[in-house]
Amino acid sequence: MIQQELREQLLDAKIPEGPLAEKWSRYKATCRLVSFNNKKKLDIIVIGTGLAGSAAAASFAEAGYNVKSFCFQDSARRAHSVAAQGGVNSAKNYQNDGDNIYRMFYDTLKGGDFRAREANVYRLAECSANLIDQAVAQGVPFAREYGGYLSNRSFGGVQVRRTFYARGQTGQQLLLGSYSALMRQVEAKKVKLYTKHEMLELVTINGKARGIIVRNLDTGKIERHGAHAVVLATGGFGKIYYLSTLAMGCNGSAIWRAHKKGAFMACPSWTQIHPTSLPQSGSHQSKLTLMSESLRNDGRIWVPKKKNEDRNPNDIPEEERDYYLERKYPAFGNLAPRDISSRAAKEMIDAGHGVGPMKNAVYLDFKTAIAEYGEDTIKERYGNLFRMYEKITGINAYKQPMKISPAAHFSMGGLWVDYELGTTIPGLYSLGECNFSDHGANRLGANSLLQACVDGYFIIPYTIGNYLADDIKTGPIDTSQPEFEEAEQHVIKNLEKLTKIDGDRTTDYFHKKLGKILWDNCAVSRSEKGLLKAIEDIKQLREEFWQRLKVPGTPQEINSELEKAGRVADYLELGELMCYDALTRNESCGAHFREEYQTEDGEAMRNDEDYNFISCWQYNGFDQEPILHKESLHFEEAKVITRNYKK
Amino acid sequence: MKIKLKIWRQINAESKGKLVDYSLDNVEEDMSFLEMLDLLNEELILKGERPVEFDHDCREGICGTCGLFINGRAHGPLAGTSTCQLHMRSFKDGETIYIEPFRGGAFNVIRDLKIDRSSFDRIMSKGGYISTPVGDAPEANAVPITHDQAESAFDSAACIGCGACVATCKNGSAALFTSAKITHLAKLPQGKVESRARVLKMVEQMDEEGFGHCTNTLACQVECPQEISVSNIDRMNWEYNKAKILGKGD
């Protein structure tokens, strides 16, 4: 009973009082501060050096804290934020087309199908303008108009132009900005940077996050690190589907290990399936390359009206093409939000209109845009994307339409956090894609770079002080405490266990199988029957994994296969939780489309009466059913409507 | 396709390495080069042999992690292409492919094809940034930057830090990498302010790491997957001379 009360208390979202537009400024005005002289007595660990992690680490260091920053890559600049292409949103209203903070807030909330916390989403829009200022000051070469002012384009799900971009490499340029800020602090000796280190365990002492256990990936050495607070900024876990737009090393291990130590996971099944990836071409494939959504500004999506069409696309006359997004969603057309576009593509493919050798793609055609603006303009806008397309497929997209297909992309779900970005473990914070906060059941394009940056630069530097103000007399965290010893032994045992199975199947074998189960049952569309089967299949696969896995080498050396195996072991548990999450939500919302809950014309049918909450999952032991808690959502200012992109 | 491979195997930085022969019988044209290596590793693991360690991550040409010397060329035969975006259709059936790590300058082999490029981070930490405080900044449109200026700065900023320039340079010079950052920031009004101090510190660190001198062979530009121009090196030299002659102040 006491446990239950404690849980309820832990699920306090800590939303400040007052009107929506004043909550964040009230918070900032009243939160506790740590004075400059006291900050140097406090240590913070940051895991991950993508936009959220490097922005947070640089901000902490500049404020005066001692920071230890960790990444598994060989340089902080390589974190997967680098791969984001299209842009970053900001309510600057430079285009004078009616944009403002409220509109951006509402677009984001509506885009997420009203399954996000109002106050968080408002703050995201509120901080967006400052981010552009910050990035320009860091030297991010955003696209400019000839007069020298910043240029914008449109992204899916909105009717204004609020997306700032640096060709098709906006993520790279923003990351180089935050990476450079981080390296400046490394040089100032306020950040100690540990590249090629992977976090394998969270250490809690008296219920508080006080450190981590990491493995040095170059030597296999296990290390202990203590701190007054631990910040996870480890990105998304879409790689769980094996085939995804994510980097090979992207993983859910840090958040999963934190989850097993008591941090709740929120809506883990809400995965964005990106509509414009390159289609799979064979069983050898390891990765699906994304083609930026920005292409939908000028590209038109269509499929042949005839089923099993095998003519060259250029030979199919206009009247035999179905521009299905323009037909079904005339108000937004090719810029319909991602969940809707992916589902529409899947519908077309499933109905036999798919194109390409595996009949698993739809066309994205630039013929109209090239005729209107000329090839040079299209080249300047998307040149690098067309080049990338040609490198991978061998096809020139100026002459022939691209073939695109839906692919697993972004994790809306993640560690549950309150308004301060704190998890249910005191002193453990979660930023960027690895948390569940702002995007609800579907993220709008160009909002992910924004969220990562806003969490790292503008929110956590304030909210962490509110917590650390209690720790100024604590002194350094001693890593010889028994909790560290126990966590370290646990990690060592786990690594030994993985290498000692010595079975007859590789890690990739299991990862591909898991990916297929999830893609078929817990991706673009889900059903009760499929999910129940998937849970059984995953349990069985997990059992097989622990009996038949083969990992070469030892844990005491560089060992890429062991790294992979550890991540897949976690995925085999996280995947099951995703299925429970999808199974217990008997409604359709955003990317979560349950086949049983749809309108007559096949649109998502939300159920606000019974499911107006965030599903928060508590770990209940290996092979045990997880425990569901609910955080109810309250909409005070936004009018909750049924999403309609038709008119 | 059938492919023969000669792959550099080396257990650690101190040990001697050698080329080892492998062959693969079921390679498909649509496979990426790294997927071909995945296939080899699957076979090696099941045979109980040690798989080949190699650097890779995003597999879409932007993170700069991958980098292999393929048939004597950094990132292989295609211009403007990183190793991960190279596909097997660029090779012939029955071909023998030589695969080695990026070597040269301050790069060291960690194991097999994995290398240590931390020297690049140390060069960056000496000044590859604008010393602006985080958190607050002036209005973004307050300082206009012409379209061409922004595009030109972007051309330099596009470097992915893979190290192909160093690996391909007969002197093991990191001039292209270092100059791209110096030029990116020098071209923007925000970065101009500290451009003199920056160029002196970054060049000093580049030398200290043990990278060689640039003798204008232009090989780096040819192999750069982002096609970064050697004119960045001209700009670095100009900035360097300016800083040397005029000093850090004015």
Residues B126 and B224 in one domain: yes
Residue A338 is a catalytic residue: yes
**Relative orientation angle of helices B175-186 and B231-246, to the nearest 10 degrees:** 70
Quick one: tokens of B70? 């393929």
Residue range of the domain that includes B24: 3-111
Residue range of the domain that includes A81: 2-270+412-471
Q: Are B7 and B54 in contact (CB under 8 A)?
A: no
In a domain, B140, yes or no: no
For residue B247, what pLDDT is reported? Answer: 84
CA dihedral angle for residue A350, residue A578, residue A426, residue A613, rounded to 10 degrees? 70
Residues B160 and B83 in one domain: no
In a domain, A536, yes or no: yes
A285 has a chain B CB within 8 A of its CB: yes
Task: Profile chain A (647 residues) by mean pLDDT over runs of 10 residues.
Answer: 47 94 97 97 98 98 98 98 94 96 97 97 97 97 96 88 93 98 98 98 98 98 98 98 97 98 98 94 90 89 95 96 95 90 93 94 96 93 87 92 96 98 98 97 96 98 98 98 98 98 98 97 97 98 98 98 98 98 97 95 92 96 94 94 82
B161 has a chain A CB within 8 A of its CB: yes
pLDDT at position B49 over 50: yes
Residues B95 and B178 in one domain: no
CB contact under 8 A, A284 and B147: no
In a domain, A421, yes or no: yes
pLDDT at position B26 over 80: yes
Residues B238 and B174 in one domain: yes
Which residues of A, range 212-231, sit inside 8 Å of B by Cβ?
A: 218
Residues A263 and A293 in one domain: no
Last residue in a domain, options B111, B139, B159: B111
In a domain, B220, yes or no: yes
Q: Please give the Cα distance from A523 to A361 (Å, whole number).
A: 17
Among the partner-chain residues A62, A180, A287, the one whose CB lies closest to the CB of B129 is A180
- Domain count of chain B? 2
Residues B160 and B81 in one domain: no
Which residues in chain A touch residue B42, judged by CB atoms under 8 angstroms apart?
A: 506, 508
A100 has a chain B CB within 8 A of its CB: no
Residues B106 and B160 in one domain: no
**Of A463 and B247, more confident:** A463
Mutation target among A75, A146, A562 for the B interface, most CBs of B within 10 A:
A75
Q: CATH number for the domain including B101?
A: 3.10.20.30
Residues B199 and B237 in one domain: yes
Q: How many CB atoms sit inside 10 A of residue A631's CB? A: 18
For residue A293, what pLDDT is reported? Answer: 82
Q: Nearest-CA neighbor of A626 among A568, A557, A589, A579?
A: A579
Please report the ipTM that was assigned to this predicted complex: 0.98
Q: How many CB atoms sit inside 10 A of residue A476's CB? A: 12
How many angstroms away from the CA of B125 is the closest CA of chain A?
Answer: 5
B138 has a chain A CB within 8 A of its CB: yes
Which residues in chain B touch residue A141, judged by CB atoms under 8 angstroms apart?
A: 150-151, 153-154, 157, 184, 188
CA dihedral angle for residue A486, residue A492, residue A496, residue A497, rounded to 10 degrees? 40
Residues A395 and A444 in one domain: no
In a domain, A641, yes or no: no
In a domain, B188, yes or no: yes
Q: CATH number for the domain including A335?
A: 3.90.700.10
Residues A232 and A371 in one domain: no
**Relative orientation angle of helices A253-260 and A560-583, to the nearest 10 degrees:** 60
For residue B105, what pLDDT is reported? Answer: 86
Quick one: tokens of A42? 């406090």
Q: CATH number for the domain including B176?
A: 1.10.1060
Residues B126 and B96 in one domain: no
B190 has a chain A CB within 8 A of its CB: yes
pLDDT at position B250 over 80: no
A226's torsion region: left (phi>0), alpha (psi -120 to 50) or beta?
A: beta
Residues A516 and A592 in one domain: yes
For residue A80, what pLDDT is reported? Answer: 98
For residue B11, what pLDDT is reported? Answer: 97
Residues B98 and B155 in one domain: no
Helix/strand/coil for A175: helix
Which residues in chain B touch residue A179, judged by CB atoms under 8 angstroms apart?
A: 124
Which residues in chain A touch residue B62, judged by CB atoms under 8 angstroms apart?
A: 82-83, 169, 171-172
Answer positive or negative: Cα dihedral of A273, A275, A278, A279. positive
Q: How many CB atoms sit inside 10 A of residue A13's CB? A: 17
Phi, psi of A496 (to 5 degrees): -60, -45
Q: Please give the Cα distance from A275 to A332 (Å, whole number).
A: 15
Residues B122 and B78 in one domain: no
In a domain, A626, yes or no: no
- Domain count of chain A? 3
Q: Cβ neighbours of residue A470 under 8 Å, at least 6 residues apart?
A: none
B87 has a chain A CB within 8 A of its CB: yes
In a domain, A247, yes or no: yes
Question: Can you give the length of chain A in residues?
Answer: 647
Residues A223 and A281 in one domain: no
How many angstroms separate the first and last alpha carbons of chain A? 51
* Mean pLDDT of the B33-43 span: 98
Quick one: tokens of A579? 């299925």
B15 has a chain A CB within 8 A of its CB: no
Q: Classify residue A331 by its DSSP letter.
A: T
CB contact under 8 A, A176 and B87: no
Residues A296 and A436 in one domain: no
Sheet strands side by side (includes A414-416): A435-436, A414-416, A265-266, A613-618, A627-632
Which residues in chain A touch residue B30, judged by CB atoms under 8 angstroms apart?
A: 281-282, 284
As a whole-number percent, the residues of chain B with pLDDT over 90 amount to 95
Q: Count CB pairs under 8 A between chains A and B.
A: 218
In a domain, B139, yes or no: no
Amino acid identity, position A542: R
Catalytic residue among A338, A443, A542, A585: A338
Q: Classify residue A361 by its DSSP letter.
A: B
In a domain, B136, yes or no: no
For residue A579, what pLDDT is reported? Answer: 98
Q: CATH number for the domain including A224?
A: 3.50.50.60
In a domain, A627, yes or no: no
A189 has a chain B CB within 8 A of its CB: no
In a domain, B219, yes or no: yes
Q: Are A72 and A48 in contact (CB under 8 A)?
A: no
In a domain, A621, yes or no: no
Among the partner-chain residues A59, A139, A281, the one whose CB lies closest to the CB of B190 is A139
Residues A425 and A574 in one domain: no
3-class DSSP string for B83-129? HHHCEHHHCCCCCEEEEEECCECCEEEEECCEEECHHHHHHHHCCCC
